[in-house]
Structure 1
Amino acid sequence: MENNNNHEEVISDLRRIVKQKGLKYTEQREIVLSILLHADGHLTAEEIYNQIKKEYPKSNVGIATVYRALSFLEEVDLIASINFGTEGKKYESNMKSHHDHLICTECNAIIEFIDEEIEKRQDKIAKANKFKITSHSMQLYGICENCQK
């Protein structure tokens, strides 16, 4: 139940942000955000589009609308993305607690991890340099176990 309440809060945040920016609230943005809030992993725009067609068959959401919604949601910091260069981006909601990523350069698999030692070390480095970290993102690239075989 708590998770659904959090999802409702994020949808409320979306409504508030749209109103503050003087924009029209659209169901399409809410649908895209909702899919990412319920996703287990990171999704491409195409995967989101396919899921919309399956879960919201009566909605009139085209792929271009999905891209526009993703761009807006990322701009207002409700979602985050990992860029795969020419292969595009994968998206996730910002609802999850902080984590970092291991990204396979062969199959684009994404492994999330949390390492308290890394977090402490970053804080120590920032403090030593009289620097206040407001956010960070760590992405380590390499080859996953499956692709090494």
Structure 2
Amino acid sequence: MQKVKKILGQLKDNGQRITTLRRVILYIMEKFDSPLSAGDILSEIAKMGLSANKTTVYRELEFLIKSEIAETVQLRGREQKYELAGEHHHHLVCVKCAEIQEMPLAGDLDETENKIYKKFNFKVQSHSLEFYGLCAHCQ
């Protein structure tokens, strides 16, 4: 909850409104260790005894992305998901149960990006890396 409190403080300092729905979405995103779809977020809102319009949830997610508070995760053949922005990381995706785990990867990729620039004169602006396999539960 510390991360959300910090985010809420930043929003307030920037003159942004802190709506109940915005606060709830942030707490839900912090609660889960893996990316969530808009449908997942709507389900969690309902479990809390609250209601929200699907369009409004998408609008809030779009605001969080534009504010660089959240980011999208688009994995091969799956619906778009959302997570709080943080340190750059990659994902481990279970092909059986669809569990997604975050996986930080050390500076090797920075070195690779430098090699790409030197060899191809191509400046990498971003990248996405996912590993697909079976999680511990599904093995």
Task: Provide closer, same or farther for how the CA distance between residues 117 and 72 of structure 1 changes in structure 2, counting only shifts above 3 A.
Answer: closer
- Is the Cα–Cα contact under 8 Å of residues 103 and 141 in structure 1 kept in the other structure? yes
Q: In the alignment, is residue 31 of structure 1 matched against residue 24 of structure 2?
A: yes
CA distance in 2, matches of 1:14, 1:137: 28
TM-score normalised by length of structure 1? 0.68
How far has the Cα of 1:32 moved from its partner?
0.8
Give SS of 1:111's match.
strand
TM-score after normalising by structure 2: 0.72
Partner of residue 38, structure 2: 45
Residue 49 of structure 1 deviates from its aligned partner by 0.9
Equivalent pairs, count:
138
1:70-119: CA deviation from partner (whole Å, max 9, x where unpaired): 11111211011112477421111114x32112445665432322222533
> Is residue 109 of structure 1 aligned with residue 99 of structure 2?
yes
Alpha-carbon distance in structure 2 between the residues aligned to 1:140 and 1:107: 16
Instruction: Report if aligned partners of 2:69, 2:84 keep a CA contact under 8 Å in 1.
Output: yes
Letter in 1 for 2:36: L
Higher share of residues assigned helix? 1
Per-residue displacement from partner, 1:30-65 (whole Å, max 9, x unpaired)?
21112112222111111111111112x1x4422222
**Do the aligned partners of 2:34 and 2:101 also contact (CA within 8 Å) in 1?**
no
